[in-house]
Structure formats: structure tokens, C-alpha cells
């Protein structure tokens, strides 16, 4: 099963980010993957450099981003679209929210359980509900960036049956430089899951570099070049089932 993730350079203007995402999605869709994924906060100008007020960011970016995802999902049809994240208001609170779309319909919505310090200071609220969606391409678990540092949450996602984990990321300036993908590789091996780690060029030197990861190794990763990249790989679901059967015996 073919999947594509879009490693994006974050532009200084919302409309520039939307256009870049649109171009990348349509190029990726030509290869007819089962799923296309976007990065965390992919439309927020300057990769959250001025992330200080959740209400302002949400009002300026959320609805336009969701409209873009819905319209783009209609155009790519049967391809699942993992919509990175948006900062969405719900009953007066603001959540870092990841969405899953197909044929223009919103299939699932997940609120980040572990916002980082700058998000909390800006007014982002913690979500509280782990999410795994049963789809015809497999069970998809949805987490966001720092959620991957929460062992209890990752274990819960695995216990809910996730076979593919969506992980949009956007490393901040305080993030330590990381070589490779040690954390996500360990999660993939331990629980027998594919991980779609979708970052952006602004964070690629600090742990946010995009990669498609299997329990048996990295299927593909982007370079450190400061440019947009489309990363595509085949997920062998039969091999995954065999791997999971082996680890479940131990």
C-alpha cells in the first residue's frame, strides 16, 4: 500500500502555505497513494515563530485551513488526507487538532494531549482522548508531535490496535538537535506499527525531519535540504501482520 507524506517549507504568509500544500498534494495524488499526510501547523506563518496568542492564530488560520482540506479532499477523491494540524476553537478553548478526510468528508478529529510549553503559554488546551480509526487501509492512530514522548499514550494507541500512526511534527527552537529517528524507530519496533512522521523544513535540523518508518527500519526520509519534499513508500501490511504475530508471542 503506497502512502505519501509532504515535508513542507513554511512560508511567511498563510496563503503561500496553502498554495504550497495544494501544489504538493496534487503532485503526490498523481501517484495514487492510499493516503497523503501534511505537517503539524503547516499553514501557520513562519512555523510558529510568533506563537503567542492561540485565539489570534486560530481566528486567522483555522477556517481557511479546514476549508482548504475539505476542498482538496474532494478533488483527490478516494485518497485519505491527513490534514496536519490546525488550532481549532471548541467551546471557548483552543486545541491543536489533527484531522482525517476522505472524499471531502471529515472522518476523524484528534486533539493533541501533550501541548508543549509555548503552546500552553499561548492558550492551547490539552486534549484527553486517544484515537484510533478503523479504515479499509488499516487501523490509523492519530498523535501529534510531543505526544510521541508520552509512553502511556503511545502504549494506549497500540492497545487500541493501531497499525499506522500519523505523527505530524513541528520542532521548536528549543528542541534539541536529533540525529536519525531513535524515538519513533523504537515505537515502531516495540509495537509493530508504521509511523508517518511528517515535519517541515523549518524544523528538519532539530528532530522534525520527515520519515516513513516500519518496525524493521526506515522506509524513506527526507534530506536536510531547505526545500519542499514529497516522500512516498510502500507499506507492506502482510509483513506487518507477520511481525506483530511474532512480537505478540513473546
Determine contact, residues 172/204, Cβ cutoff 8 Å.
no
- pLDDT confidence of residue 204: 45
Mean pLDDT by 10 residues, the chain (250 residues): 94 94 98 97 79 92 98 98 97 98 98 95 97 97 96 98 96 59 95 95 62 97 84 98 90
Q: For residue 123, give the CATH number of its domain.
A: 3.60.110.10
Helix, strand, or coil (residue 9):
coil
| 126-148: pLDDT as tens digits | 999 999 999 999 999 999 999 99
Question: DSSP class of residue 188?
Answer: H
Determine contact, residues 158/139, Cβ cutoff 8 Å.
no
- pLDDT confidence of residue 21: 97
Q: Give the count of domains, the chain.
A: 1
Please name the residue that has the C-alpha cell 503559554: 121
Instruction: State CA 187 to chain mean position distance.
Output: 16
For 32, the domain range is 2-249
| Non-local CB neighbours of 52 within 8 Å, separated by 6+ positions | 121, 122
The CA-atom distances, in angstroms, between 140 and each of 164, 165, 223, 227 are: 5, 6, 26, 28
List the grid coordinates of 203: 524544523
Helices (H), the chain: 14-29, 54-76, 117-122, 151-159, 182-191, 237-249
Question: DSSP class of residue 166?
Answer: E
**What is the Cα–Cα distance from 144 to 37, expressed in whole angstroms?**
12
Question: DSSP class of residue 165?
Answer: E
Cα R_g (the chain), whole angstroms: 17
Sign of the C-alpha dihedral computed for residues 172, 178, 181 and 187 taken in this order: negative
Beta bridge partners of 94: 89, 124
pTM, rounded to two decimals:
0.95
Amino acid at each position: 500500500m503506497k502512502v505519501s507524506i509532504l515535508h513542507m517549507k513554511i512560508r511567511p504568509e498563510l496563503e503561500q502555505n496553502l498554495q504550497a500544500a495544494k501544489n504538493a498534494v496534487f503532485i503526490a495524488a498523481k501517484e495514487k497513494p492510499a493516503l497523503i499526510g501534511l505537517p503539524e501547523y503547516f499553514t501557520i506563518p513562519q512555523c510558529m515563530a510568533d506563537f503567542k496568542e492561540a485565539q489570534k492564530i486560530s481566528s486567522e488560520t483555522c477556517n481557511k485551513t479546514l476549508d482548504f482540506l475539505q476542498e482538496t479532499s474532494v478533488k483527490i477523491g478516494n485518497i485519505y488526507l491527513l490534514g496536519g494540524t490546525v488550532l481549532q476553537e471548541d467551546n471557548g478553548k483552543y486545541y491543536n487538532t489533527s484531522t482525517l478526510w476522505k472524499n471531502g468528508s471529515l472522518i476523524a478529529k484528534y486533539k493533541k494531549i501533550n501541548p508543549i510549553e509555548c503552546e500552553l503559554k499561548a492558550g492551547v488546551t490539552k486534549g484527553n482522548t486517544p484515537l484510533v480509526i478503523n479504515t479499509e487501509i488499516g487501523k490509523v492512530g492519530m498523535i501529534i508531535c510531543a505526544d510521541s514522548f508520552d509512553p502511556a499514550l503511545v502504549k494506549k494507541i497500540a492497545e487500541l490496535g493501531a497499525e499506522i500512526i500519523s505523527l505530524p511534527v513541528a520542532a521548536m527552537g528549543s528542541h534539541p538537535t536529533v540525529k536519525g529517528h531513535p524515538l519513533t524507530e523504537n515505537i515502531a519496533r516495540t509495537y509493530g506499527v508504521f509511523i508517518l512522521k511528517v515535519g517541515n523544513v523549518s524544523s528538519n535540523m532539530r528532530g522534525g525531519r520527515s520519515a516513513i518508518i516500519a518496525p524493521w527500519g526506515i522506509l524513506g526520509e527526507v534530506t536536510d535540504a531547505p526545500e519542499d519534499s514529497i516522500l512516498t513508500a510502500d507499506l507492506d501490511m502482510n509483513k506487518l501482520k507477520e511481525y506483530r504475530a511474532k512480537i505478540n508471542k513473546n
